[in-house]
Amino acid sequence: MAVRDAASLLLPLLLLALLHTWGARAAVEVTMEEEVQVFHGDTARIPCTVTSDDGSGGMIVQWFYVIFSGKSHLIYNQDSMEKRVVKNTPYTDRIAVENNGTAGGVLTISDVQLHDEVEFVCHVRSLTDGTGEGRTRLRVFKTPDFPTIERAEKGISVDDDDEPSKVGTCEVKNGYPKPTITWYRNNMPLRSIPGVVNFINSATTGSSDLFSVKSELFLKVKKEDKDATFYCEVKYLVPGAEKMTETNGINITVFYPATEVNMWVESPKRLIVEGDSVKLRCSSNGNVPSQEFEIKDKNGVSLGGSEAVLAKVSRLDSGVYVCTVVDMNTFEELSTNTTIFVNYLDEAVIEPKDTVLVEQRKELKATCNALSSLHTKTTWLKNGKEVSKGHYLSLKNITYDDAGLYVCIVTVPEIEEMQTNASLQVHVQGPPEITEKKFIEKETAEKEVELSCHVKGYPTPKITWTSSDGKVISSASHMTTELGAKSVVKVKVTSNMTVICSSSNSFGTDSVTYSIKAKIRSNGVIIAVIIICILLLAILGSVLYFLYKKGKICNRSGKQDFTKEKSGKDRIVVEMKSDNTEEAILLGVNGEKQLPGDQ
C-alpha cells in the first residue's frame, strides 16, 4: 500500500519534469568564416563549427546556397537517420561534407567555377528546436593570360595640332576578378592629363564570364619620345594577395623637323688618294618622311640624294661639296658642306734617265723625285737589297760590281699602299776582266768536260774559245749578264790538251787558259790481276790433284797414316807407314824415293 502511494506521487513529478524539458530550447551556436577564397578549378573547403547545450547528437544540419536575389536552395541535408546530397542542383556531383568534430562539418566543393561565387549557409537545429546559422561567401579567382602590347602602326608627328595621337594598345584576357592596366613611360606611370595623355579602357566578358581588359594610350608626343620605352603593368587578385605582371616594352616612331644637317665622307676612312672611290653621306637631326636631300659638287652639279659616290677620284675632284635638305611640308631648307682633298703621288723621275755609262773608278750621281701632296720617303735598291736612302744616289770609285739595275722606290708613310718607282741601268765601261784564274788545270777521266768563262766589262765583251792548235771551238754558248758576259763550252777529251777563253771589247782584251789532263783508265792492271789469280788457281788445282793421285796408290797396300814434316830443304814430303812392315819411305814432291839417310 505504501509502495503504491509512492508511485502515485512520483508519476506527476516525472510528467512535470518532461513538460519542463519540452518547453525549453537548447542554445545552438554556429561559427563560420566570413569569406573563403579559392582559385578557379580548385576545391573549396567551407568549415561549419557547431556548439550546443544538447551536444552534437541528433542534430539536423542543412547546407544552402543563396543566389543574388536572396533566395536559398538546399543542397545537403543531415539528420540522425541519413546524410543526403540533394539531387538536381548545380552542386549535386561536386559537394561533400567532411567531419570536423562538430555537427556542421566541412563543405567541400570541387572544380570551382565562377558561378560558385555565392553565399553558402550552414543551418543547424537541435532536438529541442534550438537553431543556429552561419554564412560564408565564396570568392573565386582566375589568373589572367600574359598581357600583350601593340604599338601604333604609323609614326606620330610632334607638329600634330589635333588631339593626342594613339601610341599603342594593351590587352589582358581571361582574368577574374577584373584586372587593371597602368601605362608606363620610361618606368614612370602615366596619369590622365586632358589634351596631353588620354586613356580609353574597356572590359568584356565571354561565355566563361572571365574578364578581358583593353587599354589604349593617346599621347601628345614630343621629340624626346623617340627614345622612350612604353609598357603596361597589369595588376590582378589571387587568394590572399595582389600580383602584378608587365608587358614587353615598345618604341614608337616620332616625326620631328630637322634643326641641323651633317655631311661626311663615309669611305674611305683614311686619307683620300687618287684612284679611290669616295662615298659621301648626308643626314639631318630631324625625322620627317617628306624631307629630301641633295648633294652637289664644287661646280653645283647634283650628284644624288643623301648618298653620292665619286668613282676613281683625281686631284681635280678636290673641293667643297654641299648637302641641302628640304622639308616638303613646310619647304624649310637647311644646308651644310664638307671639303674633300684628294692626295696624289706622281711617278718617280730619275736623273739621269734610263741608262747611264760610267768609266771604272769614276763617280756616279743620280737623283730620284716624285711630286706628292704628302711627305714621302725614298729608298734605292739593287738586286732587292737596299743600297741607299734619300733622293740622292752617289757611287764613288766605281767598279764592275757596281754595274746593274738600280730601282728607286718612293713611298708615303701615312698611306702604306701609296708608292711609285723608277729604275736606272748602270753600265761600267772598261776592258774585259775574266773572273776565273788565268791558268786552270783540270784532270779528268771523262770523255767530255764542261768549261765556263765569266767576263766583266762594258761594252759587253766578245768571248772566243780556241784549242792549243789555234782552232776556234764554235760549239760554245754565250749569254749577257748584268756585269758583262758568260760563255760555256763542252770539250771532248781524248788526250792532254789546252783550251783558251779569250774576251775582248773596245777597251781591251783578257784570257784564261785551261790545261786538261786526261786520265787513262788502268784496264791492263785489271787484266794482269785476273791472270795472276788464274795461275794461282791452276797451281792449287795441280797440288790437290797430285795429292789425290798419291793417296789412291797407297790405298792399294792397306791403311796408311799421313803426317806432314818439314824438310831442311823446305820441300814437302809424305811419310808412309805400313802395318805389315817397319819400313818408312819418304817420297819427294817430284815422286822420287828418299832414303832415311837423306832426310
CATH code for the domain in which residue 439 is found: 2.60.40.10
| Helix and strand counts by DSSP (H, E) for the chain | 2, 46
Is 554 within a domain?
Answer: yes
Structure-block grid coordinates of residue 537: 788457281
**Quick one: 509 and 586 in the same domain?**
no
Q: Which of 399, 430, 461 is the last residue of a domain?
A: 430
Q: In the prediction, which pLDDT does 522 show? A: 56
Q: Which of 141, 176, 195 is the last residue of a domain?
A: 141
- What whole-number distance in Å separates Cα of residue 434 and Cα of residue 216? 103
Query: For 27, phi and psi rounded to 5 degrees?
Result: -75, 130
Q: In the prediction, which pLDDT does 56 show? A: 59
**Quick one: 373 and 424 in the same domain?**
yes
Is 13 within a domain?
Answer: no
**Quick one: 493 and 570 in the same domain?**
no
Is 12 within a domain?
Answer: no
**Quick one: 361 and 399 in the same domain?**
yes
Mean pLDDT of the chain: 85
Q: In the prediction, which pLDDT does 521 show? A: 58
Q: In the prediction, which pLDDT does 321 show? A: 96
**Quick one: 537 and 463 in the same domain?**
no
**Quick one: 65 and 132 in the same domain?**
yes
Q: In the prediction, which pLDDT does 523 show? A: 58
Average pLDDT over residues 503-508: 94
What are the distances in angstroms from CA 24 to CA 54, 80, 95, 125, 179? 11, 21, 35, 14, 54
Q: In the prediction, which pLDDT does 185 show? A: 96
- What whole-number distance in Å separates Cα of residue 169 and Cα of residue 215? 6
Query: For 225, phi and psi rounded to 5 degrees?
Result: -70, -10
Is 550 within a domain?
Answer: yes
Is 319 within a domain?
Answer: yes
Give the total number of structural domains in the chain. Answer: 6
* DSSP result, 33-86: -SEEEEETTS-EEEEEEEEETT-STT-EEEEEEE-TTS-EEEEEEE-SS-EEEP
**Quick one: 316 and 293 in the same domain?**
yes
Q: Hey, which of 52-66, 88-102, 272-286, 528-542 has the most confident mean pLDDT?
A: 272-286
Contacts (Cβ under 8 Å, ≥6 apart) of 268: 276, 278
Q: Model-level pTM?
A: 0.55
Average pLDDT over residues 66-88: 92
- Domain around 95: 28-141
pLDDT digits (tens, 9 = 90+) for 437-493: 876 777 777 788 889 999 999 999 999 999 888 889 888 889 999 889 999 998 888
**Quick one: 64 and 113 in the same domain?**
yes
Checking if the pLDDT of 154 tops 80, the result is yes
**% of residues, the chain, pLDDT over 90:** 62
List the alpha helices (DSSP H) in 143-235. Answer: none
Average pLDDT over residues 249-273: 94
Checking if the pLDDT of 578 tops 90, the result is no
pLDDT digits (tens, 9 = 90+) for 171-199: 999 999 999 999 999 999 999 999 999 99
What pairs with residue 425 in β-bridges? 355, 405
**Quick one: 153 and 135 in the same domain?**
no
Is 9 within a domain?
Answer: no
Q: Taking CA 145 as the corner, what is the angle to CA 144 and CA 151, rounded to the nearest 5 degrees?
A: 115
Q: In the prediction, which pLDDT does 571 show? A: 40
**Quick one: 543 and 477 in the same domain?**
no
Contacts (Cβ under 8 Å, ≥6 apart) of 475: 489, 490
Average pLDDT over residues 166-170: 96
Checking if the pLDDT of 503 tops 80, the result is yes
Q: Which of 430, 457, 485 is the last residue of a domain?
A: 430
Average pLDDT over residues 281-291: 89
Q: Terminus-to-terminus CA distance in the chain, angstroms?
A: 195
Q: In the prediction, which pLDDT does 54 show? A: 64
| Side chain identity, residue 107 | L
pLDDT digits (tens, 9 = 90+) for 81-136: 889 999 999 999 999 999 877 778 999 999 999 999 999 999 999 877 788 999 99
Is 538 within a domain?
Answer: yes
- Give the three-class secondary structure for 543: helix
pLDDT digits (tens, 9 = 90+) for 377-395: 999 999 999 999 999 999 9
pLDDT digits (tens, 9 = 90+) for 18-55: 333 333 455 889 999 999 999 999 999 999 998 877 66
Q: In the prediction, which pLDDT does 520 show? A: 65
**Quick one: 56 and 111 in the same domain?**
yes
Which position has the grid cell 616638303?
328
**Quick one: 135 and 166 in the same domain?**
no
Q: Minimal CA–CA distance to 116: which of 157, 160, 170, 67? A: 67
What are the distances in angstroms from CA 94 to CA 54, 107, 178, 257, 321? 32, 10, 26, 67, 85
Average pLDDT over residues 550-554: 58
pLDDT digits (tens, 9 = 90+) for 317-370: 999 999 999 988 888 899 999 999 999 999 999 999 989 999 999 999 999 999
Q: Could you tell me how far CA 392 lies from the centroid of its own chain?
A: 50
Q: Minimal CA–CA distance to 403: which of 480, 351, 349? A: 480
Is 509 within a domain?
Answer: yes
